[in-house]
Structure formats: structure tokens, C-alpha cells
A and B are shown apart, each in its own frame.
Chain A
Amino acid sequence: MKVRFWGVRGSVASPMTNAELAVKIETALQLAVKAGLKAETEIPAFMKSLPCYVRETVGGNTACVEIQAGDKLLILDGGTGIRMLGLDMIRRDYGGKPIEAHILLTHTHWDHISGLPFFVPGFNPKNKLTIYGAFSNLEARIRNQQKFEYFPVPLPAAFHFVQLKENSVFQIGDVQIETLPLNHPGGSHSYRMTHQNKSIVYATDSEYKDLSNHSLRPFIRFFQDADMLIFDAQFTLLENIEKEDWGHSNVFCGIDMAIEAGVKKLMLIHHDPAYNDQKLYKIFQDASEYLEIYAPDRNLEICLASEGLTLTV
């Protein structure tokens, strides 16, 4: 399966500010002076040597992850990141056939659905875009977002709906999909996608307050041996405890659960809008050190998800 991250921010879209951009440019220039850069030809190699929080940004778009599994295109959540995905999709070659995609929604908080009205493949009625959700009134909730009071045009005809039950198991072609309810105000649902013996779990918007084995067991079972776990690590551990019942988690908890479940790769997403690149990178570095202390012999890999990141599972 091929995975691409189009939106990794939680809560609300949060574009980089001019002040943050200025800090990046200034830091890069300082490092260039230090490195004694003399010619333009040295720039590409120098760029590569820059710390990633200087060279790039994790991005400000909210939740959207694309998964290509064989000939099926799955889209996890329709946050603002889905707008860029839609633009990319209409540039792809479908051999003259209409676009078909399966949009799996975790829940309908704005950061997971507000990109849907701007998803360009929706504008062509020949395309078939199926939205799935395991929460009540799926179709009404999505249509209501485009009522006249909120948006100038109603939801176009290309969209179709499949209302799922809690704890569903179903197929999209040869991809098996399972769902599991998470701990989130108003509810959220995790998806586990299995294709050709590889599994990806998308588990965002969930809080784990009781961290005893007994209480985590249903989640550990659902995450068991996943090749990739895409995990809500919105807060630092401290802020997570301060913001009790906000429905999110932290990277330390993610590492503990991933190790317990034998996960191979842990992707951190749903970054807090108040955290800039430097802070997120610091959190990631601390998390890497924690993993080294906790389980140096495990082969769990952790990764800070950023916009545009593409990985193969």
C-alpha cells in the first residue's frame, strides 16, 4: 500500500505565520554563513544538510491521508488536506474512466470534514466518491455542512454514502476494513486496512486516560502487528494531562501502545495548531530518546508525519 499525508494538523487549519517563516530564513542564512557557502552550486547540498524544521514545515492542513491499495483509492478523513489531494487526483491518468474513491471518516468534527466542499473530483457527477462512517446520521451530517447557510452550493451528486455499524468488518475490493470506536467527545472511529498481508491502522482523535493493560486491551488488539499505526499525538504528555477530556493523546502513550501491540512503524499526526515546526521536531527528538531508553532492541520506527510525506507499506 502507498500512503501519502495531505493534512496532519489537528483541531483547525494553521498556516505558517510570516514570523515563523522569517525565523526559518534567518536560521538558514546563519547556517549558510557558518558553512562558508561561496557558490550557488553548493546550495542544493547545503539545503539537504539543514535541520528539517528549518528546511520544511509539517504543514497547516487538517486531517487527510491517502492510501492506494492495489486498484482501490482510500482516503482517510476529509480535513482541509483533501483539497490538495483532489487537485492532484484530477491531474492523474484514469484511462478516460471516471474517478472512484472511498472516503473513510473517523467522525465529523470540522478538522475532519471541512475540506469536502473543496474536493474537486466531487464536481464531476460521473465520478463516484463513497463516504463511509460508523457514527449516526452520516449522510445528513455531511449534507448539512453544505446547507445554504454555510456554503453556497449543496453536496454534489458524485458523493454516495455507506452507513457503517460500530465494529464493522467489510471489504472494498480486496482490501479488508475493520472499525473500532475510540475515546473522543462525540465519538471517533479507527480504521484498520489490510491488503496483501499488510495492515495500516488509522487511529486519530482518541484519549487514553487509564493506561493500564486491562483498559488498553481492545486498542492493543486492534493495533496488533500493524505495519503502520497512524496515531493522534496532538499534545505533549504534560499538556495532554492538563487538557483532560479534550479527546487526544501524546507520543509517549503512542510509543508504549505501539510496542505493546508489536507495531512496526508509528506515524505521529493531528499536531496541535499551537505547536510550530521547531517544537514538533523537539517533541519527536525526545520521543526518539524515550524509545531508545524504553526498548532499544525493538524494531519500532517512529516518524513525524508532514504534508507531502509518501511511504510504502
Chain B
Amino acid sequence: MNITEEMKDNISRIYLEGRFDANTCADVEKFIREKVEEGKYRFVINMEKVPFIASAGLRVILVFAKELRQKFKGDLLISNLQSSVERVFEISGLKNVLKIYDNMENALQSFKIEN
């Protein structure tokens, strides 16, 4: 899993590349944890290059979204899902509780509207 970050306008944009499953969930968790510890509480996770997400990945995303909302009044948004990954978000129920956007712009826009 390749993970990169771009920080702009106080929003951390995280780009994931590769399968997001039991092999890679610990890397993503560690990466985001470090950012949270640096005091970053607003994230957009771009998953354009994630061909598959397993329960391990879903869990990491949901646990962070919950923590950021409850403890820091922040959030973790999702953008650019491939269709099969989007379907997994739907059938696992995560689509009902997370904010998911077609593209990065719309996700960033929603953070700005909230401000």
C-alpha cells in the first residue's frame, strides 16, 4: 500500500494506492494516527487507486471517523471510490454513516461549507 499526504487549507488529503485489507490496514492506521497526534483532525481519503477494501480497511476508516467526530469535532471523508469498493461501502452499511464524495473537490467543499 502506497500512502501519500498533501496538506492544504488545514485539511489533510490522503491518497491510498493498493488493496486495503488485513495486509495493509496497520500501515494506514499508523499513518493516520501520526497525523491525528500532530493535531490534524480533518481528512479526505482519496481511494481512486484502491481496487479492493476488506473488513480490516472498513474498520480503520470507521473507527477514525468516529473518533475524529466525537473527540475533535473533525471528520474523515471519502472520495473517488471505484464502483466495486463503493458497493462494499453500501452493503457493509458504512455509506449510511460516512460522507462519501465523487471527487476531491466536492469533499473539500463540504469541509469549507461547515466552516
Contact = CB atoms under 8 A, between A and B. Distances in A.
Nearest to A251: B55
A134 to B, nearest CB: 27
Interface of B: 21-23, 25-26, 52, 54-56, 58-59, 62-63, 66, 84, 87-88, 91-94, 96-97
A97 B66 CA distance: 60
* Complex A-B, nearest 3 residue pairs according to Cβ-Cβ distance, in ascending order: A211-B56, A252-B55, A286-B91
Nearest to B97: A238
A214 interface: yes
Contacts of A26: none
Interface stretch (A30-38, A99-107, A151-159, A288-296): A288-296
Q: Is the interface of A mostly helix, strand, loop or mixed?
A: helix
Nearest to B29: A212
Contacts of A238: 62, 92-94, 96-97
B26 A241 contact: no
Given A286-B92, A290-B91, A213 B55 contact: no
A256 B21 contact: yes
Interface in A214-231: 214, 216
Given A236-B93, A241-B62, A290-B92, A212 B25 contact: yes
A155 B91 CA distance: 47
Contacts of A237: 55, 58-59, 92-94
A290 B59 contact: no
Contacts of A256: 21-22, 54-56
A236 B91 CA distance: 10
Contacts of B88: 290, 293
A54 interface: no
Interface string A246-274: 00001011011000100000000000000
Contact of A260 (B22, B63, B66, B97): B22
A289 B87 contact: yes
A290 B92 CA distance: 9
Nearest to A286: B91
A252 B87 CA distance: 13
10 contacts: A211-B22, A211-B55, A236-B93, A237-B93, A237-B94, A238-B94, A238-B97, A241-B66, A250-B55, A289-B91
Contacts of A212: 22-23, 25-26, 56
B59 A211 contact: yes
A187 B96 CA distance: 33
Give the most central of B23, B66, B93, B96: most A CB within 10 Å: B93
A253 B57 CA distance: 11
Nearest to A237: B92
B87 A293 contact: yes
A257 to B, nearest CB: 9
